[in-house]
Amino acid sequence: MIFRDITIKRLVFNALVLPLAGLAVPAIAGINDVGQSLSFIEKAHSASPQAPIKVVIRLEATVASVQTLGHPTALQAQIDSFAAAAKAAGISNVRTLDARTGYIALSANLVAIRALASRPDVAELFEDVSVEASQAADANYAAEVGLTSLSVDGAGTMVTIVDSGVDASHPFFSGRVVEEACFLSSGGCPKPSGPGAAAPIAGGEHGTHVAGIAAGKNSTLRGASPSALIGAVRVFDSTQGSTSDIIAGLGRVGEFADRYYVTASNMSLGISNKSTSAQFCSSQNGGAVVQALRAKGIAVAVASGNNYDHTLDGVRWPACLPGVIAVGSSDGVSAISDFTNLGQRLDILAPGRNLLSSVPGGGYMQMTGTSMATPVIAGGISTLRSEMDWPVDSILAALKANPAKLRGADNNLYTVANFQDAYNRLIAATPTRGDVYIKDNASDVGRTDSAHAGGGLTASPDIWVRNNALEANPPHVHQNPEFGQPNSIFTYLRNTGGGAQAGKVVVFRTLAIPRIDEPANWIKVGEQSATVPPYGAAVAKIIWNSLPAPGHYCLLAFWVPSGKSDALQLPGGIYAAVAANPHLAWHNVDIVDASSGASFLANLRIYSPQGENIAFDVRPGDAEGSYALIVRFPPGTRYTPDPTWTVTKTEAEGSEIRIPLGNGVTYIGGVRPADPNQTMVPLRFRIEQRGEHRHDGASVATVRFLQLDSIERHKANGSTETGSITYLLFDNLPARTTKRHHRRRHS
């Protein structure tokens, strides 16, 4: 389908993709054929067929093997093929909007557009037209819709704001704007992505105001989801943007969902012109990218518009698209705002008149419009889903079930949102159950994809290994498994539900040289039954009797509720499966051999007092047959060097020092902790020779044992903290063996 890429303005009254496993683009239903959209373009531009027309096109794969969307660039090959053909025809301005759903933008005359429309891979085409944002003090809107009485506040979720940008430095957000991107086909983005990318320009206060309503918080004022993270996507300059920029922005929302638990996306914008909007609504232009987000479980809340249109089809594009939640404005909860667009497509009302919220520069002001009502809904949904991952349709049904109705100027009844009422209905309809998860990293709160919010996936804090002799150590102290004797694998289970949950933990490990994306290459280590109490925790312990040969391995802990299959499934590969499944967590380990004659070469990382990594690596020394220890500190870490050490980088860069290894004890004088109440933390290195070992059945090597000991940390209050002891074995092999060391770092 082809449609015009028109300009979109802010919907202000006063003051103014993601991967879809198993979903094929051609399966999107209800979108009219390309010919209908082409007829709209021909009618609008028949008088000047040679003039350039901005259009948006959605391509579908013509090769069956790439029809399923499940990769960020699933349709990139199709886009590249199209761009090459377009360039041969003299069209060189093809711009990718979202490679996941196949949307691109370009400019061509009517003759060329007719030719493009005939291609078999063109599934959607429309003109890239103008879109405007929808907008004097209500500071109690969160209370009016029943949000302040809830015990949850959006923690662990993300709400995205597709708008004119967000002032990330505003104190109302307290550092919670963690993702930024910008898409302006007219130019003017500070940068494509990263901190500052969504910074607004003068007159662009709309997005910051909307974001504050959705997720702001200070000591006297709160938004709808005051602890949610914010993803800011700028698609306007100060007053308007285009359909192509909005589609590109929604594609980026899909990418955010690869790293965060994105629960809702807010679009306080739309096409103001009713005729153009009707064409877009009829053809469902841009519907594929919305359906992609909904298939990921993301609520897409869109403003209905501020055109005083109370007719049957008053709701403007994109609020008219299937799958979005169309939001109108109410005056408090007692009357429908006169300016709000109504109609059969309107889903819900929320306060939108005179809402007080943040504006760039640290200030606050009142604004009015469906733009202000929409983030109340988007933020409210994020708050509900921080309690439980209820489906979007279930939440919308619960909101619509509120008996409080208001009669509109069209004589129809509309529902004002009440989130406390919706919460009560959802809880009543949800059986009391356990909700057990295993953390992927420290920031994980047990939601799909939340592991991406604060770290990696390969060192779960809820999985740790200890030698049986060291079980008395405090929980969560992980040590390298020791070959030749039993070890224990511990898994910490957390239950966020109101009912106990019974099941078992199954632990798997990789083969020595694994293809870790294939379940067949994971070997079962053992299993242990457990019952996790309501809102409580439990620890499952599995004895690991038969360890494989020393080397680098991956462990997976899999929580299996009673009655469920314990067959390991890794849809999308190991990284995608671990991120998406709260019951699955991953921890890499290095198996070492402490017995006389053992040999092992490895890389080790431990945490500095600042909470950052200190990296240790064993390298060939300057003299033949010797070795050195390379230590890398985080930037700014202070230490006291020994005269025998070689410093190769400065403190500002992140110091790197080279320590010649020998028998006895070597000290790093101390590492400066972040807490000024703590003293320098000594790190001790003990090198001991352990004998000889015939390596690979041929060469003879001298074996040494390296012990790293992070010893007592003394606090100002007189207490001490004792760090963990980690063992690392290495051998005195020629330099060529370092290749074996690097190959081992496969996961």
Distance CA 197, CA 163 (A): 13
The b/e string for 713-728 (b: 16+ C-beta within 10 A; e otherwise) is beeeeeeeeebbebbb
Listed in sequence order, the DSSP H helices in 180-231 are 206-215
Q: How many CA atoms lie within 13 A of 460 on its CB side?
A: 31
- Three-state secondary structure string covering 244-308: HHHHHHHHHHHHHCCCCCEEEEEECEECCCHHHHHHHHHHCCCHHHHHHHHHCCCEEEEECCCCC
Residue located via tokens 């619509």: 400
Find residue 656's DSSP bridge partners.
632, 649
Strand-pair partners of 688: 705
Residue pair 545/493 in contact by the 8 Å Cβ criterion: no
List Cα–Cα distances, 79 to 62, 75, 95, 192, 318, in angstroms: 11, 6, 9, 20, 25
Active-site entry in 163, 258, 347, 593: 163
Q: Which two tokens stand for residue 444?
A: 């994980």
Quote the DSSP letter at residue 520.
Answer: G
**SS3 state of residue 332:** coil
How many CB atoms neighbour CB 273 within 10 A?
18
Other C-beta atoms lying within 10 Å of the C-beta of residue 544: 19
Active site residue 163: yes
The span from the CA of 54 to the CA of 230, in Å, is 31
Strand, helix or coil for residue 115: helix
| Residue 562 contacts residue 454 (beta carbons within 8 Å) | no
Is there a cis peptide before residue 318, judged by omega within 30 degrees of 0? yes
User: In this structure, what token pair is assigned to residue 326?
Assistant: 């169309």
**Over the Cα atoms of the chain, what is R_g?**
30
Catalytic residue among 329, 371, 386, 710: 371
DSSP states of 610-628 as a string?
TSSEEEEEEEE-SSTT-EE
d(CA 10, CA 239): 6
Question: Which of 170, 189, 328, 346 has its CA nearest to residue 252?
Answer: 189
Helix axes 34-45, 110-117, angle to 10 degrees: 170
Q: Is 331 left (phi over 0), alpha (psi -120 to 50) or beta?
A: beta
Q: Is 71 a catalytic residue?
A: no
Those residues with Cβ within 8 angstroms of residue 103's Cβ, 6 or more apart along the chain or in another chain: 56, 57, 58, 59, 96, 97, 124, 244, 247, 248, 251, 286, 288, 289
Identify the burial level of 382 via C-beta atoms within 10 angstroms of its C-beta, where 0-12 means exposed, 13-18 middle and 19 or more buried. Answer: buried
The string of DSSP codes covering 365-409 is EEE-SHHHHHHHHHHHHHHHHTT----HHHHHHHHHT-S-EEE-T
* Token pair for 665: 């004890």
Distance CA 673, CA 650 (A): 18
Which entry of 45, 170, 206, 209 is annotated as an active-site residue? 206
Tokens 């001991």 belong to which residue? 688
First to last CA, the chain: 43
Nearest alpha-carbon partner for 284 in 103, 131, 126, 116: 126
Do 243 and 286 touch, CB atoms closer than 8 A?
yes
- Which tokens go with 150? 């809830």
Active site residue 583: no
Strands (E), 43-121: 53-59, 68-69, 95-98, 103-108
Name the residues annotated as catalytic.
163, 206, 371
